[in-house]
Amino acid sequence: MNGRPAVLLDRDGTLTEPRHYPSSPAELVLQPGIGAPLRGLRELGVALVVVTNQSGLARGLFTPQDLDAMHRHLRSRLRALGVRLDGIYHCPHHPDGTVPELAVRCRCRKPGPGLLLRAAEDLHLDLARSWMVGDFASDVGAGRRAGCRTALVGPAAAEPDPDSPAPDLRAPTTARALELIAGAFGGTP
Ligand SMILES: [Mg+2]
Ligand SMILES: [Zn+2]
């Protein structure tokens, strides 16, 4: 394949600290220690892409304008660490939503692979050489369906669940997972 490898990152609980339906920029707080491994991955030519379920849009908890403000904030916090994102892809849907046009079954809500496939097409990514990093089994499921390797981080990584697809890598923190993935790409872990 000719595409670039990528690390596809879940947002809430992976790139940022876990919050229940964050709806304002101040609620997006980056996880500790991720600046150096993210810069290292970029130096290795790895694209960095956020893929996030935002069913709060379908539930009417915040607006697309609120989400834009949150993502401008996220990009600026990362820029302060010397990290540029190649893209942010979100699923606004949920079958039980209250906003009629978003209350649908879709292919982009993780564990569906739609966000990853869209990112791969837009950004010319080689998914077979890419990793999906997330804190939920749905992130692992989406990554596997898209043909990526997968890393599970945070509390769920400590409790293997026989009913969920097994990740290729488990790590207690996002920073540690990114260091291990950079090592797998040939960088210094
Ligand atoms: Mg998450
Ligand atoms: Zn969707």
Ligand minimally distant from the alpha carbon of residue 139:
1
Q: Cα(12) to centroid of ligand 1, in Å?
A: 4
Q: Cα(102) to centroid of ligand 2, in Å?
A: 8
Q: Cα(80) to centroid of ligand 2, in Å?
A: 30
Sheet of 169-171: strands edge to edge? Answer: 87-91, 47-53, 6-9, 131-134, 149-153, 169-171
pLDDT at 179 over 90: yes
Q: Cα(52) to centroid of ligand 1, in Å?
A: 8
User: Which of 10, 86, 135, 139 is the catalytic position?
Assistant: 10
- Alpha carbons within 13 angstroms on the beta-carbon side of residue 16 total 23
- Mean pLDDT (the chain, rounded): 95
User: pLDDT by residue (tens digit) across 88-126?
Assistant: 999 999 999 999 999 999 999 999 999 999 999 999 999
Query: What's the confidence (pLDDT) of residue 1?
Result: 55
Average pLDDT over residues 3-31: 95
Q: How confident is the model at residue 160 (pLDDT cuts 50, 70, 90)?
A: confident
Query: What's the confidence (pLDDT) of residue 58?
Result: 98
Is residue 54 a contact partner of residue 91, using CB atoms and an 8 Å limit? yes
Q: Cα(19) to centroid of ligand 1, in Å?
A: 9
pLDDT at 166 over 90: yes
Ligand minimally distant from the alpha carbon of residue 16:
1
For 38, the 3-state DSSP assignment is: helix
Q: Is 163 among the residues known to form the active site? A: no
Is residue 186 a contact partner of residue 43, using CB atoms and an 8 Å limit? no
Ligand minimally distant from the alpha carbon of residue 107:
2
Q: Is 10 among the residues known to form the active site? A: yes
Q: Cα(43) to centroid of ligand 1, in Å?
A: 26
Q: Cα(104) to centroid of ligand 1, in Å?
A: 21
Query: What's the confidence (pLDDT) of residue 18?
Result: 94
Ligand minimally distant from the alpha carbon of residue 9:
1
Q: What is the CATH number of domain 6-184?
A: 3.40.50.1000
Query: What's the confidence (pLDDT) of residue 188?
Result: 58
pLDDT at 16 over 60: yes
Query: What's the confidence (pLDDT) of residue 186?
Result: 83
- Alpha carbons within 13 angstroms on the beta-carbon side of residue 56 total 18
- Nearest Cα residue to 172 out of 2, 69, 31, 28: 31
User: pLDDT by residue (tens digit) across 34-89?
Assistant: 999 999 999 999 999 999 999 999 999 999 999 999 999 999 999 999 999 999 99
Is residue 124 a contact partner of residue 3, using CB atoms and an 8 Å limit? yes
